[in-house]
Structure 1
Amino acid sequence: MAASSEEQRTTTRDSIYRAARSIKRRDNSLYNALRSIYQDSLFVHEISQLWPMLPLLANLRCGLWYSPRFDATCYFKSTDGHTNNLSFNTSRLNLHLPLLAGEKGGCIIIDSTRKGKRFPDSMSKTIPIWSCVLNRSIFNHLKRLCNTDAGLPSDDDLDGDKIRQVLDKWDCSLHLPLWVSNTERASIEARLDEWTRELDESGADIASLASCLRKPLRPLWVSQKTVIWLNAVPEPDSWDFTPLILVSASVSGELQHRTNSEFSWNYIPGAGDDEESWARGLSPNVFWTHVDDLIHWGPDLCNQKVAEIVENDRVYRAQRGQEAPQVVVKCSKSNGKVNHAKSDEIMSLSTSKPKIGMMIVDEDNLVSWLASTNLAVGASLVAGKVTSIDCILNCDQNPISVPLSYLEEHLHLPMKGSKYDRFSISRELGSAVNFAKLKMSSGKKLLVCCQDGEDISVCVCLAILMSLFNQEGAFDGGKSFEEKSITKMEMRRVLIFICKYAVNARPSRGNLRQVFGFLSSQLENSDQ
């Protein structure tokens, strides 16, 4: 009897758990997510119109859903601002952002979060830490110039007196939002000197930032609960700093039931986050191409119409030789029969689509030349179309269509990220470096590409630069490799050089670890 009662309680708990999950899946339906994103985009548009002269940036990846048009992207991770995990990551310096802000007088950055907060940690702490460290590093650079009475390499040709005027007004203090505790503020301030020293030692081009920024960077926070007096909106030029206007797109809180004249739907805060779990292969640019239809079709037809849109987009790209994997439909089974209902708990779509960071730039900008090294990094979907290259090293899982003239100058080494295979990159790096050495020794220009041009191809370029180039950045075919000390600091310095030109570079820690292991083993073998 006791055993039977225990089994009954377990069955009841399981039933309640399944019902709760079913309700959650229904509330987080595809239509609810898309409708919530569209609703929040109206607020984003409203804020962008307050300062139309400032460029609009999406913080990858969530932020990219909230507007059909962005001027650029940036990549600040919330994990770098998590309590007890605070860090200043030199692998994600986003140095294009201060250059753009200095040129335009500031910028607006869009992001969101699902966790019930008004702002994601990327905006509450990661960006404030980043801007403070950059300000301190620029201040140190200007101070050194002032002490040597040298001028800045800029059109204004600042002399010592003008540099002193800038230094007198330069703010190096830490600016955090009010909701960050004093304890956490103190913890951050205690590490600012360490982080500034790491930036100074990383080899980042601080001189270019100093010549572009005339006022220090400073974050400002705007959410849907922020009160803005429309008749008193300040101009960026009136501030004594370069504003980074951090806009959290969503209303904080729990799911909210909303009704209009056509449909009832549930508002999801931060709906653009974690797109793999809900987007069914839809990407931001495809969403905004069909946004009116998707909103008009309503919740009953949304899943079906999204499937059609995603497949039509796949066919369109496949006909043009672009990355276009087949969409997979997974159906759950009930009583041994396939259930063809269109509800969220039954059908899901998944696809290995191009990364969203690629969707807001034209094809020419998907290839980044690394200064004068004859080495470029880019996305595989345009690799065969770039006329300025001589040879291609394709690290994508899928082969690419290349002109007949490239058949002898093309090598396909399919690689997986460390999330799927811990040794895939390190196994192929030897062949990749040898191919690069063979082609670049005769002065040929090499493009290294992968699906998104942001991770694996960046890691391969890092291995090539470390293996075949000297400290001054000149190709020597590996003659100076044995004299190098393969350290994480040296790898970081070369990675920062790559990121200066490939601004969308986002190599993962696991993939970088494979590069470090490969280089270390190569150095050990050369010593034997």
Structure 2
Amino acid sequence: MEEDSRTTTTRDSIYRAARSIKRRDNSLYNALRSIYQDSIFVGEISRLWPKLPLLANLRCGLWYSPRFDATCYFKSTDGHTNNLSFNTSRLNLHLPLLAGEKGGCIIIDSTRKGKRFPDSMSKTIPIWSCVLNRSVYNYLKKLCNIDAGCDHDGDNIRQLLDKWDCSLHLPLWVSNTEKASIKARLDEWTRQLEASGADIASLASCLRKPLRPLWVSQKTVLWLNEVPEHGSWDFTPLILVSSSASGEIQRRTNSEFSWSYIPGAGDDEESWARGLSPNVFWTHVDDLIDSGPELCNQKVAEIVENDRVYRAQRGQEAPQVVVKCSKSNGVHSTKSDEILSLDASKPKVGMMNVDKESLVYWFASTNLAVGASQVVGKETSIDCTLNCDQNPISVPLSNLEEHLHLPMTGSKFDRFSILRNLPSAVNFAKLKMSSGKKLLVCCQDGEDISVCVCLAILISLFSEEGVFDGGKSFEEKSITKMEMRRMLIFICKYAVNARPSRGNLKQVFGFLWSQRENSDE
């Protein structure tokens, strides 16, 4: 018995020591220093093709450069083995339009899992680009109408079709079995895209060469004197850059500090960033890197709090969250319930070097727009506001009737928050838009909850042609997931940063279905 007890004690001691080493290696300073180190590589690659726009794959990729021209959102889960999918809720149709205009693009992402590339780059983007190429090919083929004779542009289209590559291009490390599985579903995914109502015509008019991914990592060998011009390729390149070195945590030393390199350190920012956002990090990058491991946590707390106060003084979004300090997040505290006040705001991302805090997305010629809560008061064309954020917005007393605050939370925190508030939201939209007023629906980031509310409003109060009718055509509509997906694709065409979660979309479907049942009674 004593021997078993000693063995257990020894095992526990080894386990505690291993956890202590892991906590030390995954400290805040190590993460920020690793990101900074990897950003040097990202900068070198972007300078090889300076004319190509640089895009961050949200959210991890956003940490690896101080400047991006745009963002995209491809999830690794769509490329996981046995979970392969083509998601029409994340079409990223602004990306091929941008790539077609500029001749290609560079996409930045990273992974912590010891792989050279995340699954978003190994499979999700290759699947996506292949399906888009096939859909464009089908559209051009119909346009040419070879069997019935071509119009005056027919010869040009026919030449384009002869060179158009619809092949599936995957990296070498994807197995033949998985490649065969993907190929078997390409026809199905292409039909889904063409049935979704996506604007394939715009893609066909913009893309003169098919999309094709290329992969670059820190282990890729590039001869700098032989880097080809992107215009010389017979395809539109999507240069997929995995910013981090693959492998385990590595101990590194310079003249000032010893620190541990963390592959894919920008991933899962909630677990380590302590309220720091990519924008704020790059604003204070020199101070943070020079602070060293001992002072980094304190420096981050000061920077985040100063940024929060700066925003609050200007009437901008400046929420506070309580973060429990524990040994698991690399903060040493004598009290397990010590509380820090941090800025929980997420980085605001937009398209092509626009002022990210003034973005408002209008849906075609409608009087409905979506945006982040910071834009309220900045956009003069807005007549009334529906605020879905948890925090109220300062509005003049004379304008109170034109403002409605319906605090909502995502499905992870409350499964029915959006469902409970949608009736009031749609009624407010109907009241204001019936008199021709322009309505802004906003939430903290303008990417999820406000998008779901706009989805409910567009389906409930607008006709199939996109004309406001106050809900007269609602009874004739087919409330199906396919129709919801079609309308969501319409929204994403304008609000390119839209990222509604599945749980929140389910609440919208539940609301629309209940409205239909009530109207039938």
- TM-score (norm: length of structure 2): 0.95
In 2, the alpha carbon distance for the partners of 1:425 and 1:19 equals 45
- CA deviation after TM superposition for structure 1 residue 293, in Å: 1.1
Q: Is the 8 A contact 2:348 2:356 kept in 1?
A: no
**Residue identity in the other structure for 1:353:** S
Q: Is the 8 A contact 1:258 1:267 kept in 2?
A: yes
Partner secondary structure for residue 19 of structure 1: helix
Alignment of 1:430-441 (within 5 A): 430-441=423-434
**Residue identity in the other structure for 2:190:** T
Evaluate the alpha carbon distance shift between residue 54 and residue 345 of structure 1 in structure 2; reply closer, same or farther with a 3 A threshold. Answer: farther
Q: Match for residue 367 of structure 2? A: 374
1:493 aligns with 2:493: no
Match of 2:355 among 345, 356, 362: 362
Q: Match for residue 29 of structure 2? A: 31
Q: Is the 8 A contact 1:339 1:346 kept in 2?
A: no
Q: Match for residue 515 of structure 2? A: 522
Percent identity over the alignment? 84
Alignment of 1:303-382 (within 5 A): 303-332=297-326, 340=333, 351-357=343-349, 361-363=354-356, 366-382=359-375
- TM-score (norm: length of structure 1): 0.94
In 1, the alpha carbon distance for the partners of 2:298 and 2:167 equals 53
Partner secondary structure for residue 165 of structure 1: helix
In 2, the alpha carbon distance for the partners of 1:329 and 1:287 equals 19
**Residue identity in the other structure for 1:110:** I
Q: Is the 8 A contact 2:308 2:343 kept in 1?
A: no
- CA deviation after TM superposition for structure 1 residue 346, in Å: 8.6
In 2, the alpha carbon distance for the partners of 1:23 and 1:89 equals 40
Unaligned ranges ≥5, structure 1 = 152-157
In 1, the alpha carbon distance for the partners of 2:403 and 2:4 equals 65
In 2, the alpha carbon distance for the partners of 1:463 and 1:146 equals 38
Alignment of 1:261-280 (within 5 A): 261-280=255-274
Match of 1:242 among 236, 240, 253: 236
- CA deviation after TM superposition for structure 1 residue 352, in Å: 2.3
1:470 aligns with 2:463: yes
Q: Is the 8 A contact 1:332 1:347 kept in 2?
A: no
Partner secondary structure for residue 415 of structure 2: coil
- CA deviation after TM superposition for structure 1 residue 23, in Å: 1.5
In 2, the alpha carbon distance for the partners of 1:349 and 1:273 equals 22
Q: Is the 8 A contact 2:111 2:244 kept in 1?
A: yes
Q: Match for residue 154 of structure 1? A: none
Q: Is the 8 A contact 1:470 1:476 kept in 2?
A: yes
Partner secondary structure for residue 212 of structure 2: strand
- CA deviation after TM superposition for structure 1 residue 471, in Å: 1.0
In 1, the alpha carbon distance for the partners of 2:82 and 2:126 equals 16
Q: Is the 8 A contact 2:325 2:337 kept in 1?
A: no
Q: Match for residue 138 of structure 1? A: 136
In 2, the alpha carbon distance for the partners of 1:339 and 1:276 equals 18
Q: Is the 8 A contact 1:108 1:244 kept in 2?
A: yes
User: Could you say what the CA RMSD is over the residues aligned between the two structures, in angstroms?
Assistant: 2.1
Which string of whole-angstrom CA distances, capped at 9 and with x for unpartnered residues, describes residues 176-204 of structure 1?
Answer: 00000000000000000000000000000
**Residue identity in the other structure for 1:251:** A
Q: Give aligned pairs, total.
A: 515
- CA deviation after TM superposition for structure 1 residue 525, in Å: 1.0
In 2, the alpha carbon distance for the partners of 1:346 and 1:250 equals 34
**Residue identity in the other structure for 1:250:** S
Evaluate the alpha carbon distance shift between residue 92 and residue 339 of structure 1 in structure 2; reply closer, same or farther with a 3 A threshold. Answer: closer
In 2, the alpha carbon distance for the partners of 1:319 and 1:247 equals 39
Evaluate the alpha carbon distance shift between residue 473 and residue 503 of structure 1 in structure 2; reply closer, same or farther with a 3 A threshold. Answer: same
Q: Match for residue 181 of structure 1? A: 175
**Residue identity in the other structure for 1:96:** H
Q: Is the 8 A contact 2:358 2:379 kept in 1?
A: no
Match of 1:394 among 383, 387, 393: 387
Partner secondary structure for residue 385 of structure 2: strand
- CA deviation after TM superposition for structure 1 residue 149, in Å: 5.9
